[in-house]
Chain A
Amino acid sequence: MKLPIYMDNHATTRTDPRVFEVMRPYFLDVFGNAASRNHSFGWEAEEAVEKARKQIADLIGATPKEIVFTSGATESNNLALKGIAEMYGERGNHIITQVTEHKAVLDTCKRLEKDGVRVTYLPVKQDGLVDLDQLRDAITDKTILISIMYANNEIGVVQPVKEISAIAKEKGVLFHTDAVQAVGKIPVNVISDGIDVLSLSGHKFYGPKGVGALYVRRRNPRVQITAQMDGGGHERGMRSGTLNVPAIAGLGAACEIAKNEMPEESKRLRFLRDKLKDRLMSSLDEVYINGSMEHRLPHNLNISFAYVEGESLLMGINDIAVSSGSACTSATLEPSYVLKALGAGDDLAHSSIRFGIGRFNTEEEVDYVADKVIDVVTKLRELSPLYEMAKEGVDLSKVSWAAH
C-alpha cells in the first residue's frame, strides 16, 4: 500500500490509465482542428469528437446531437442557466433551485438576479432531499426553469430526479440538473429521468480535467439555449471555441468504461464505503452521518465526529487525502453551507469529514483509513473540553458560549 492515500474522489479523480492511452495520440499525431473540413487531419479529429459524442450519449440515454462540449461543469451550468434565462426571457423570469447546489449554480443564479431574474432557493429537509411539495408550490406562471442537482458533492445525497421532472413537465417548466457527481457513478438516463438539460464533467469519473458537456434535449420539448460566448459558432452555435480533441476523446472513453463497469464498480464501492462507515461507527461514539443514507451515492460518506474539529482531524490523518466541512478548511472561514442547510448546527459542520471512495481505492486502504481516523479522533477527544463536558453530562446547547 502506498501513502498518501487519495480518498477525495468528489473533488476529482485520477485519470484512468486506459483513458489516458486513448488521449495520447490526439496530442502528437492526430492533432487536427475538428472544424477543419478540407484535410485528413481535421477529419480524423472530427471522427474522434463524434465517437466521443456517441459514447457520452450512450451513457446517459441521449442522442449524439444533444451533446454540447464545454470546458467542464462550471461552464455547462453557466451556459444552461444563463442561456435558458436569456432564450426564454419573454416567457418568464423565474428560476427555482435549492440551497445545497454547487456554487457554479448558486453564483450563476446570483448573477442572473442582478439582471432581473427572480430566483427561489428552496431549503432542503434534514436528510438533504428537496421537499417536492415546496417545489410544486414555488412554481408560478413566470417560472421557466427548475435547476436541482442529481447528487450532492458534499453529502452524496441523490435527489428524487424523476419526481422533480414529473412536476416540471406537468407545469410546463424546463428541468436542468447538475449531474456532475452522478454521471458515471449511478445510472442516469435523460429519457426515463425526464431531464431536459444536464451538466457533466470529465474529471469526476476518471476522465481528464478541463472538459465537460451539456446535454440539451432536442425533442419533447426542443430546448433552446442562447450562446454565452461569441465566436466560430461551434457546437451548433451553442458553444464557440476550438474543440479540445484529446480531452473530448478521453471523456468519451471514460463514459464507455463507466457504462461497462458501473454495475460491478458501484457494488464494490458500496461495500468499501459501508465497511468504512461500520468500522467508524462501531469503534467511536457520537458519530453522525450527514444526509440520507438511503438516497445516497454508493461511494460517499460524510460523517461528523462530535467534539472534534475537522481541520485538526485532517492534520492528524495527513497521509490521507479527504476534505472537511470545517470553517478552518474553507477559504471563506465559514463552515459548509451544505451541512448548515441540513439544520444540524454549525458545530457538527466543523466536525465533518467527507470520504469519497474511488475506482483506485483498495480494501487495505479503507482498513488503514478506518484505523487511523479512529486513533486520531480518540486522541483529539482526550484533548477536547467539549467531549469532557459531554461525558460529565453537561448539555452543551445550554451553555452560554462567548461567541467570537
Chain B
Amino acid sequence: MAYSDKVLDHYNHPRNVGSLDKSSADVGTGMVGAPECGDVMKLQVKVNPQTGVIEDAKFKTFGCGSAIASSSLATEWLKGKTVDQALEIKNTDIVNELSLPPVKIHCSVLAEDAIKAAISDYKNKQTARSAEAVAV
C-alpha cells in the first residue's frame, strides 16, 4: 500500500513520543486498542488546571504506520487547546489531514478514542481532587 507523504513524515519523524507521569493529577492518560487487534495507543495530556489548556501531550503507539501517524498528529493538535476544544477533534479531521485510505479509518477512530479517554481520565482526576478538597 502506498502511504501519503504526511503519514510517512509522521512515521519517520514522530512528534511528541514519550510518557508523562501518569500518577500526576494534572496528567490524563488514555490507553485504547488491544495487542491481539494489532494496535494499542497510549496518549497523555498535561493540563494547566487554572486555564484548562493542554500544555503538553505525549504518545506511544503499537500499530501500523497510519496508527503511529494518527496519534502523532493528535498530540500536535492537542497542545495549546483547552480540554473542551480537544474533545471537538474528530477522526474525520485526522483522515483528511493524513489522507488515510478507507482500510485505515479505524486508526483515526482509535486516535479520537485515545483523546477522549485521556481527557476523561484528566477530568475524573480533577473531580476526585475537588471532592477531596470539599471533604477536607
Residues of A participating in the B interface, judged by any CB pair closer than 8 Å: 307-312, 315-316, 326-328, 333, 335, 345-347, 350, 382-388, 396, 401-404
Could you tell me the distance in whole angstroms from the C-beta of A280 to the nearest C-beta in chain B? 19
B62 at interface, CB cutoff 8 A: yes
Cβ contacts B14-56/A at 8 Å (1 or 0 each):
1001010000000000011111111111100000000000000
Can you name the residue of chain B whose Cβ is closest to the Cβ of A331? B103
Q: Which residues of B contact A404 (CB under 8 A)?
A: 32-34, 37, 106, 110
The 4 closest A-B pairs by CB, nearest first: A401-B34, A346-B36, A385-B42, A347-B35
- Say if the beta carbon of B60 comes within 8 Å of chain A: yes
User: Are A333 and B103 in touch, CB under 8 angstroms?
Assistant: yes
A230 to chain B, nearest CB (A): 40
Does A326 lie within 8 Å of B38, measured CB to CB?
yes
Interface locus among B63-71, B74-82, B87-95, B120-128 = B63-71
Chain A residue nearest in CB terms to B106: A404
Q: Which residue of B lies closest to A315 (CB)?
A: B65
Q: A309-B67, A404-B106 are in contact. List 20 more A-B contacts (CB 8 A).
A: A307-B62, A309-B63, A311-B65, A312-B64, A312-B68, A333-B103, A346-B37, A350-B36, A350-B38, A383-B61, A384-B62, A385-B40, A385-B61, A386-B40, A386-B62, A388-B19, A388-B42, A401-B33, A401-B36, A402-B32
The tally of residues in B whose CB lies under 8 Å from a CB in A reads 28
Q: Are B33 and A327 in contact (CB under 8 A)?
A: no
Count chain A CB atoms within 10 A of each CB in B62, B63, B65, B68 and give the residue with the most.
Answer: B62
Contact across chains for A315 and B38 when beta carbons are under 8 A apart? no
Q: Is the CB of B65 within 8 A of A312?
A: yes
Pick from A309, A316, A333, A396 the residue with the most CB of B within 10 Å. A309
7 A–B contacts, CB within 8 A, in A order: A309-B67, A315-B3, A315-B11, A383-B62, A387-B62, A402-B34, A404-B33
With a cutoff of 8 Å between Cβ atoms, the chain B residues found around residue A403 in the complex are 34, 36-37
Contacts of A346 in B (CB 8 A): 35-38
Residue of B nearest to A382 (CB): B17
**Contact of B68 (CB < 8 Å), options: A345, A383, A388, A401:** A383
Given A384-B60, A385-B31, A309 and B3 touching (CB < 8 A)? no
Chain B residues near A385: list those with CB within 8 A: 31, 40-42, 60-62
Residues of A within 8 A of B17 (CB): 382-383
- For residue A388, which residue of chain B has the nearest CB? B60
Q: Counting chain A CB atoms within 10 Å of each CB, which of B14, B33, B38 scores highest?
A: B38
A396 touches B103 (CB 8 A): no
Find out whether the CB atom of A311 lies under 8 angstroms from the CB atom of B36.
no
CB distance from A189 to the nearest CB of B (A): 41
